[in-house]
Amino acid sequence: MKRMMLTGALALASAGVQAATGVALVHGTGKQTDAYNDYWQSDMVEGIRKGLADPNNLLVVNCDFDQYMWDDRAAGCLAGQLTSFIQNRNIDRLIVITHSNGGNVMRWILSNPTYDARYPAIIQRIVKVDAIAPSSAGTPLADAAIAGNVFETSLGWLLGYKTDAVRQQQVGWMATYNQQYLLGTSGRPALPVPFRDVVGTDVVSAVWSSQAYCGGYTQSVGLEITQNWLSSCSDGFIECSSAQAAGTLWFKDRTRTSGGQVLNHNQSRRACFGLPSILANDLKG
């Protein structure tokens, strides 16, 4: 009888400390104060939330990613918000979903565990990073923006204007960071957790195509224009080779999206073509 009571007590105790899974959405370049509405939008966030057993275990990060990735306003802010989320919600399985330059900030934390005392505890709880359209090898458009040509004005809504984050995403600069400070790219040690790339391969902007309107038609047109300065495989902002330069390829858009649609760089942070369901289902794995 005593053994049965002890077993029951242990079972109850185990239930009380059952693994809690949480998800953190990490935005890209820009200083965000309301990323829920301004960066991701509610349909995207709430669609992802459906994959959680406890819907309260979701964090939408708001940081100043106009800074260099290691800056306290960038990685320091991200570390602070992740630490509070982990502690307040008792998260021991953390899945991070990043977009664009957010993948670089997250990769800084994963690559430099001794840089900040908060990093090790965060890394210990991360089970995977789903990196959507990460600029892991930079983008030629950052070079163009810094040079001050047409991209500086045409891409201001997405890229920003000559900020430190834009400088950081220049192709040559990211090559240096990848060689010296960041893990996960070719020839470098692996990252301590899976870093899985979601790659957008094209842009559709034809006025008669319904695909062009998801996420905003004007943005699709802008990305169609900028794609002319990129390789044939790109989402209008990030070339496919950059998006899959770090970690491992999870999927290219057409292979998973509803109807085999492509995801331009703006659509990959929106509730387009079944993307929220893909991400939500992945939380359960």
Give the model confidence (pLDDT) of 7-57 as tens digits.
444 444 444 456 799 999 999 999 999 999 999 999 999 999 999 999 999
Where helices occur in the chain by DSSP H, the ranges are 2-16, 35, 42-49, 77-89, 102-111, 119-125, 140-147, 151-154, 164-168, 171-180, 217-226, 240-243, 275-282
Residue 8: per-residue pLDDT: 46
Domain boundaries, the chain: 20-138+177-200+238-282
150, pLDDT greater than 50: yes
Residue pair 238/134 in contact by the 8 Å Cβ criterion: yes
Give the 3-state secondary structure of residue 202.
Answer: coil
Model confidence band, residue 2 (pLDDT cutoffs 50, 70, 90): very low
- CA torsion sign for 194, 238, 265, 177 is positive
152 vs 150: CA distance, rounded Å: 5
Query: Of 86, 78, 125, which Cα lies nearest the Cα of 106?
Result: 78
The CATH number fitting domain 20-138+177-200+238-282, selected from 3.40.640.10, 3.40.800.20, 3.40.1390.10, 3.40.50.1820: 3.40.50.1820
Using the 8-state DSSP alphabet, how is residue 248 labeled? E
Write out pLDDT tens, residues 49-90: 999 999 999 999 999 999 999 999 999 999 999 999 999 999
Write out pLDDT tens, residues 176-230: 999 999 999 999 999 999 999 999 999 999 999 999 999 999 899 989 988 888 9
Write out pLDDT tens, residues 220-277: 998 998 888 899 999 999 999 999 999 999 999 999 999 999 999 999 999 999 999 9
**In Å, how far are 24, 189, 258, 260, 261 from 128, measured between CA atoms?**
11, 17, 24, 25, 25
Residue 149: per-residue pLDDT: 63
Using the 8-state DSSP alphabet, how is residue 185 labeled? B
89 vs 43: CA distance, rounded Å: 23
34 vs 192: CA distance, rounded Å: 30
Residue 145: per-residue pLDDT: 81
